[in-house]
């Protein structure tokens, strides 16, 4: 691919050669189909269009120094998609089928996997939608699973560089007993105004508190939050945040590095006690946090005094990337090599 400027990719959509599709009809999943068409032809009464019967996932493939292609923890994404399906009454796609689809779509678009040196990756976007026609509020009887890929660069400005975030109280992303723990499109629709407010005011992303009490930390836009202090990695325990696979991996790596790991509610005031903090996710990787502003309370929690990523963020970031790109051993079998 001579004409792609791999080192300057943004986090955006680019057409690739193929996507993979699979229909659920008559109570069973069909075969995986390789497709070069970018559009879907669906019924106007499909439940995904009206009642938000839509789930998606996000994972990445990386080209190693050794030329091999690695995908990070696809089984975990398959399991989270199954949990989302349970949450909004869609049929679960078996892990094996999910992983087979990931392999198929990555292989078919191999020429779009950014080279190792670029630091970019291939973003893999699976989605599952209700396509059966329905006017009453009920789950569909037919579903379509699609998986496409697109080469991407950093999600937050500057890649591994600190950014400011802002607490938004005007809008909630998800309720405590709502769909926040599932990866459904509706959560992202609910986040659009908060996200725009934050961007318009010059912030990297919006920062959510729990919707009920507005007291505890939930998430940083489309990424989980973690803070580090006193040799402890602390991340929120909340029923309204997405269980991030990146965060789960970082908790393990932090423990391996000798940090204590705590998953518990984090009150807003505790922000001022962290020595380091970051937003983490597949797209974000680790985006170190410079400060978090609470405009209504005229407070600014400055986390990075010198504007630089802290040493633990740096170590965790490099360790995670080294496993993902195959530069270091993969002791937990997180990586699937595609050949």
Which residues in this chain contact ligand PLP in the complex, by CB under 6 A?
A: 58, 219, 222-224, 242, 244-247, 281-282
Task: Check: CB of residue 249 under 8 Å from CB of residue 148.
Answer: no
* Closest to 248 (Cα-Cα) out of 230, 227, 268, 224: 224
Residues with Cβ < 8 Å from 197, sequence gap 6 or more?
A: 166, 168, 170, 171, 206
224 interacts with, out of ligand COI, ligand PLP, none, CB within 5 to 8 A per kind: ligand PLP
Q: Give least dist CB 133 to ligand PLP, A.
A: 29
Residue of 183, 212, 214, 215 marked active site: 183
Using the rule CB under 6 A, is 74 a contact of ligand COI?
no
* # chain residues binding ligand COI, by CB under 6 A: 5
Alpha carbons within 13 angstroms on the beta-carbon side of residue 81 total 29
Q: CA torsion sign, 52 to 211 to 278 to 202?
A: positive
Q: Give least dist CB 283 to ligand COI, A.
A: 3
DSSP assignment, residue 333?
Answer: -
Residues 205-224 as x/- pattern, contact with ligand COI by CB under 6 A:
-----------------x--
Distance of CA 132 to the CA centre of its chain: 27
Q: Which residues of 22-49 are buried (b: 16+ CB within 10 A; e: fewer)?
A: bebeeeebeebeeeeeeeeebeeebbbe
74: tokens are 């696809």
Using the rule CB under 6 A, is 235 a contact of ligand COI?
no
Please say which residue, 124 or 140, places its beta carbon nearer to ligand COI. Answer: 124
Residue 183 annotated as catalytic: yes
Q: Give least dist CB 246 to ligand COI, A.
A: 8
Using the rule CB under 6 A, is 101 a contact of ligand COI?
no
Among 21-29, 263-271, 275-283, 302-310, the segment contacting ligand COI (CB under 6 A): 275-283
Please say which residue, 58 or 115, places its beta carbon nearer to ligand PLP. Answer: 58
Please say which residue, 82 or 224, places its beta carbon nearer to ligand PLP. Answer: 224
258: tokens are 């000798």
Active-site residue list: 183
Binding residues (CB under 6 A) for ligand COI: these are 58, 222, 281-283
């Amino acid at each position: 691919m001579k004409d792609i400027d791999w080192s300057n990719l943004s986090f955006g959509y680019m057409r690739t050669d193929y996507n993979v599709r699979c229909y659920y009809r008559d109570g069973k999943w069909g075969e995986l189909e390789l497709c070069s068409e970018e559009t879907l032809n669906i019924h106007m009464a499909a439940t995904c269009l009206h009642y938000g019967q839509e789930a998606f996932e996000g994972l990445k493939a990386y080209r190693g120094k050794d030329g091999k292609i690695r995908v990070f923890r696809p089984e975990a994404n398959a399991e989270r998609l199954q949990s989302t399906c349970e949450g909004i009454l869609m049929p679960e796609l078996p892990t094996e089928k999910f992983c087979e689809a990931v392999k198929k779509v990555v292989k078919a678009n191999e020429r779009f996997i950014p080279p190792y040196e670029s630091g970019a990756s291939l973003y893999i976007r699976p989605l599952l939608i209700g396509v059966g026609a329905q006017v009453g509020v009920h789950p569909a009887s037919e579903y379509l699973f699609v998986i496409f890929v697109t080469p991407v660069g950093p999600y937050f400005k500057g890649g591994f560089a600190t950014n400011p975030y802002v607490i938004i109280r005007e809008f909630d992303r998800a309720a405590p007993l709502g769909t926040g723990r599932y990866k459904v499109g509706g959560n992202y629709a609910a986040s659009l105004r908060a996200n725009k407010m934050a961007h318009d005011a010059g912030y990297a992303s919006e920062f959510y508190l729990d919707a009920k009490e507005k007291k505890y930390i939930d998430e940083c836009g489309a990424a989980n939050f973690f803070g580090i202090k006193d040799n402890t990695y602390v991340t929120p325990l909340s029923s309204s945040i997405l269980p991030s696979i990146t965060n789960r991996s970082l908790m393990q790596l932090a423990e391996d590095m000798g940090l204590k790991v705590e998953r518990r509610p984090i009150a807003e005031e505790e922000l001022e006690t962290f020595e380091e903090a970051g937003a983490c996710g597949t797209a974000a990787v680790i985006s170190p946090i410079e400060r978090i502003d609470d405009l209504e309370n005229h407070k600014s929690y400055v986390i990075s005094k010198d504007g630089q990523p802290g040493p633990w963020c740096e170590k965790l970031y490099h360790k995670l990337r080294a496993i993902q790109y195959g530069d270091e051993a993969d002791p937990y079998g997180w990586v699937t090599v595609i050949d």
